[in-house]
Structure 1
């Protein structure tokens, strides 16, 4: 290879590598969610991202070697990223274990450790290449701009590919683009034709894999794998989208039956069904449409059928129509106008087109009006009123019971959402929500208190008269009425429940002796909890209840989070008595990630570098102040980025598009800010530039905290493209200023102690990993507004530390 030229700066290859690395992080999370579980993917990928911090250690400890052979080291790290990104995932597919065993089998930790060793490598190599480019000290603002802008563009490209390609094919493309980045680097470094030709030859290697390697090996503990164990069961279709990998399964020998909470008194058998899985789990069903709608009578024996027996209904709205069970239930009850909201267009395609003959072209029927939006987005844009708004079961029973959804924000079950539903009901309309039964009660009480609180915010004097709840052996259904329940409706409620052996949980005027008759529990737990929530001791009861059942809000939209941190020890002590099912995997993953990140970062990043620099370097810069500055920048940036992504997600009504638009905007405008920061430093100096940027971020953040909700409320009914434009205008100034501090700090280091640049890079990378997890934990407990406020304060800490870091 030729020696580096004076101005060989790899802008293009670095931007391409950054976009590829971020796309790899997202697609790896997606693939890992398919072959294992989402909560486990969160843990593994978060730990693997420590590779960005570890790279700072390596670059600092071996700085002279890397700089002596810069072109070779840079190019080699890009190549290693491309190859390990693909090969390591193929190897990881063969590491199979039950993640729930982590709580009692120490051997299961070896599986996690194996995943960490595999996936840390691609991130380590990508970070090495980026850190190498930055640590040379040449045009740092422009290099960091290329890094950020490349990542932003990579996010948008990945969103498009998820609609077009299978996730594993995207992984192959990522490896290919990584190799293309290496080839571009060979031109940027003016390598010989021999090396350029060799790099050109290997670009096609990711596509030479055997077909058997391209098949995803799904965990045997997931629903799809278990269903495929049934004799003659086979996959008949598979479609990919950003919302999940959809798999349709047929079982010709053993009939599939999916009717959650079906009464044991039901004399009718469901028609033939096809199983519909999302990411290898979360089973739903596509039901054969019979010649006579009366053959769907089994659907009248679900708890969700209750509202059809209370009053005649003309126009209804079903949120989360999915495979169509709730649509069929409405058709059985001869509802003339059925509005069906389904967020995933691929589900509608599968049900209505691909298996249209089987499903009776359900979404194309005259009575049914499909809407491809999320539920709240649709209602926000609609002025219609409905006799019934029905929220279907949105998650799988197994995942719901084990707390896998504790990390998932859900804006359908918040106080603000309930207010919106009630405003779109006719005068005597109903809101019906069906959930899984959980023992001890936690899901149903949280749903009840959220509805109760929403009614109170609408100035309803006696909200208890607007609520009823019943319980089957597997599901509960809560009915919220805009008006009060009449005696005739109460009589119909009792008749419906008695004929189907469903237990009464609550209705206005219920007596204790009327509860817990059919699906017997040791005590009428559900009734007792509901009555406490209706009493004057409600706040005290919620505070002392073993589970978190506080009402859910848009600021804290974690409906499925029930575990109180102070109870974890007691639950674990009783593991021998079968109490571990009370543990929420999602929340435990957050705690485990925080713990492992803190320990791992301290051992692998801070300690080695601390001793190395204490021993070998005498600098005019305080190492402590340097650590504080770059650490706080990583934390603060992630806090604001994540919090605003969630805030705009609800505003834009398209969670996937909102996340992509917001994330891309943050990265692109931060990249633009980084590019401009070099000019600003040359005019106003490092300290002046940083003061301007941080104070601008702080002022904008305060303005957004105070007025963003008001702006959203007044503009939320505008068309999507206008709201997307508003989002870009709001994100742009803050993100632009957020692009200043990091390159400004590196530029100051380049003048005072260039050898510390790799360390700063590692510290910032480590803090970014910690910040992403910490932001989620804070949001669960105190809400996203607290995350924003904390991010703004941390930026001020960074400003203070920068002012002092030049003095040892």
Structure 2
């Protein structure tokens, strides 16, 4: 290796550290939103990151010669400026009085919109400066595009891994102060005559930034979080804490904590005690389960619980419990006479609490009748085989206990449950109807598809529905319900003041006269009741849904089956009717808000992308009178790469979340693997500069072959290997990500090499960032409404388009004299500018995806 090449590689270490710090702080900001606010609003962080990067690309494109001329000075002062901007921005964010509940109020929402603007004002400077630094390194090293891009991506991948690792030991609110350190440290490896200046400025900025964060007002839970009231109740004590990337867990001892069970108002008349006092387990400020206090689990309340009916209809049952609710569901089943209980607890901390206990809460007592199974519910049902259970019981809190749990109420899951039942067995699924009864209708539509998949011609004969005022239970059987079953359910409900919303042959009109709990039909569009007297909104539509016909709710909501390809449970809103949604904003469930936030971010992203796309209209002549060439292909090529890469990454994270039964580890493995392998691919690109079209063709073939394999065989492969250990499955995820990531690392630097050394280089980077802003919300909305497979199909088309528009002949870079000819040891002196990639992992480790949520694109 030549001495200049060695110096160039050494000089790229600061870029590596900057990329590490930027991605780490992005993770810290999204974790802050998940813990202190609601995770859905973490999308704004992604938008701000990429808007800052896109803006910096535009500025460098317009002021390229000035940036190049002052490159050494900028490289020295930017790390310190970034460090201070990050500290000030984070402190400002944590003190912002934004309240999501007031955003849904027609009177108070203008103030909250201003608070959203303050988030942008606080964070945009940091991410703009970060983008400026990365763009500067490309500008100064046009002949090392692949290598620079590789350091950028690998630094981002390591930054994501470091941030996730820190979440095991550092409080979420303290992540940002720790991750300021790599930003400031980057100047220690900075070559050149002004490194002393950069070191002094960065050191002073680090000290000032840490002082601001540690001496200023500390971050805190917002008052609308579920934990806020019990945590601030007199006598409340946090008895255990767990810090993990998947969430910040607090176990709370407070007199208000009780078993979260829907019990009958008649419990006292039945001589049944109420729910006992418990600990409350919270993840990121949201309550996920009750955990028992010392001593035997007290489940005396079980006979009065809504969930008890299947055990009355099928006494002495062999049971598969999906979601154990801290062990209380096991105690309930045994109290109700279950002969054998197999339990699935997908939330890892809850599972560990059952096995080893958590703080003062004891582990689940050993019982020969009880077995705790590995993996998720579909895996458990598949491994059990046909004819294993009388009851498959899905707990009321299962879906909300972990992001990956939404797969447990899909068509594929219900088919697995039905196949595992004995003749006459039943699947029991709880659905909350506190917000919208439509969620019960969606589960019914899913059950219909599962029954039809099992060869049932008339699903209405295989379903019964009963409810309290707050929750509905849907009973599904592979065999038709008998008259004795119907009578048993009616007697159970009558004794407890529950209502039967459907059984085969139900006269809905006559049943209204015997209602205990009124559930009126309400028009979502107008907010007005459409019924007179006692009513049951679920009963009014069950027959239509089970028959596959249109119903009143289907005109206002999406009532469609949930599948592994489209698993989002809270996705009933019709986003194509924004006017209605805005008028009824105050009644929307919090879980549905994420889609609206995505829609708002998408609209903003499109505006940013169009502005960046129009930037070449401002290009004039470069210094020395060289005319800027006008080319159309970059306007198609770089947006296609930015969109396509993210679509593939979001798909991979979703599939891995199902396969590993954990969104957080799936996110970490996929993101880190894709960034590192894409970085390696970009380093290869420099060797292919003389034959870009051929190299691009090879990359396209690999990408298309991989997409084809995923579409045709991924789901079947996952199902057949669900019984492998977690470590084996995690290795298979990384292995699956490697080949496509390596190929995805090639097209972007190949395109930059073709662009040449003019203002189009930073513009290309700005295009990539701008359309990456578009990609994240667009991918989330597509996966919600069309399905994750659509992301792969569109990604294939985008990469094919990029290949078609890439010029055949390699562009010869114009030789630019070093602007520091007296200091040849400085490898960054005065070279033209390629464009850095977006450093944007989606760090909302709180919920799936719907993620969930945004990634880093090397394209």
Deviation at 1:446, TM superposition (A): 0.5
2:223 pairs, out of 209, 220, 223, with 220
1:375 pairs, out of 368, 374, 377, with 377
Partner of 2:410: 414
Q: How does 1:429-448 map to 2 (within 5 A)?
A: 429-438=425-434, 441-448=437-444
Deviation at 1:260, TM superposition (A): 4.2
Partner of 1:734: 740
Partner of 1:157: 162
Q: Quick check: 1:320–1:340 contact (8 Å CA) kept in 2? A: yes
Deviation at 1:581, TM superposition (A): 6.0
CA displacement 1:671-695 (0-9 Å, x = unmatched)? 111111111223xx22332233224
Q: Quick check: 1:651–1:716 contact (8 Å CA) kept in 2? A: yes
Q: Which moved more, 1:456-465 or 1:606-615?
A: 606-615
Deviation at 1:172, TM superposition (A): 2.7
Deviation at 1:805, TM superposition (A): 11
- Structure 1 residue runs of 5 or longer lacking an equivalent are none
1:270 pairs, out of 270, 275, 285, with 275
Task: Name the CA distance, whole Å, in 2 between partners of 1:781 and 1:546.
Answer: 15
Q: Quick check: 1:47–1:597 contact (8 Å CA) kept in 2? A: no
Task: Name the CA distance, whole Å, in 1 between partners of 2:261 and 2:622.
Answer: 65
Q: How does 1:375-774 map to 2 (within 5 A)?
A: 375-380=377-382, 383=385, 385-394=388-397, 410-438=406-434, 441-512=437-508, 513-515=510-512, 517-522=515-520, 523-535=535-547, 538-541=548-551, 544-573=554-583, 584-603=592-611, 605-608=612-615, 610-613=617-620, 619=627, 621-682=629-690, 685-750=691-756, 753-774=757-778
Deviation at 1:526, TM superposition (A): 0.6
Task: Name the CA distance, whole Å, in 2 between partners of 1:24 and 1:172.
Answer: 9
Structure 1 pair 506–582 and aligned structure 2 pair: CA distance change class (3 A): farther
Task: Name the CA distance, whole Å, in 2 between partners of 1:804 and 1:561.
Answer: 45
Partner of 2:184: 179
Query: How many matched pairs?
Result: 781
Partner of 2:327: 324
Q: Which moved more, 1:140-149 or 1:566-575?
A: 566-575
Q: Quick check: 2:463–2:476 contact (8 Å CA) kept in 1? A: yes
**RMSD across aligned C-alpha pairs, in angstroms?**
3.3
- Structure 2 residue runs of 5 or longer lacking an equivalent are 521-534, 812-859
Partner of 1:63: 64
CA displacement 1:10-46 (0-9 Å, x = unmatched)? 3222223223322322232121111111112223432
Deviation at 1:773, TM superposition (A): 1.3
Deviation at 1:228, TM superposition (A): 3.2
| Larger helix proportion of the pair | 1
Partner of 2:841: none
Secondary structure at the counterpart of residue 54 of structure 1: helix
Q: Which moved more, 1:732-741 or 1:18-27?
A: 18-27
Q: Quick check: 2:711–2:789 contact (8 Å CA) kept in 1? A: yes
Q: Quick check: 1:183–1:199 contact (8 Å CA) kept in 2? A: no
Task: Name the CA distance, whole Å, in 1 between partners of 2:215 and 2:393.
Answer: 44
Matched, 1:345 2:348: yes
Q: Which moved more, 1:753-762 or 1:694-703?
A: 694-703
Deviation at 1:247, TM superposition (A): 1.7
Deviation at 1:368, TM superposition (A): 4.0
CA displacement 1:731-781 (0-9 Å, x = unmatched)? 22221111111101111223xx43321111111111112111111111122
Q: Quick check: 2:237–2:252 contact (8 Å CA) kept in 1? A: yes
Q: Quick check: 1:18–1:148 contact (8 Å CA) kept in 2? A: yes
Structure 1 pair 598–241 and aligned structure 2 pair: CA distance change class (3 A): same
Partner of 2:240: 237
Deviation at 1:303, TM superposition (A): 1.4
Q: Which moved more, 1:66-75 or 1:544-553?
A: 66-75
Task: Name the CA distance, whole Å, in 2 between partners of 1:210 and 1:39.
Answer: 25
Matched, 1:144 2:149: yes
Task: Name the CA distance, whole Å, in 2 between partners of 1:689 and 1:205.
Answer: 48
CA displacement 1:231-262 (0-9 Å, x = unmatched)? 3334333322222111222224xx43343433
Secondary structure at the counterpart of residue 163 of structure 2: helix
TM-score by length of structure 1 reads: 0.88
Structure 1 pair 130–375 and aligned structure 2 pair: CA distance change class (3 A): farther
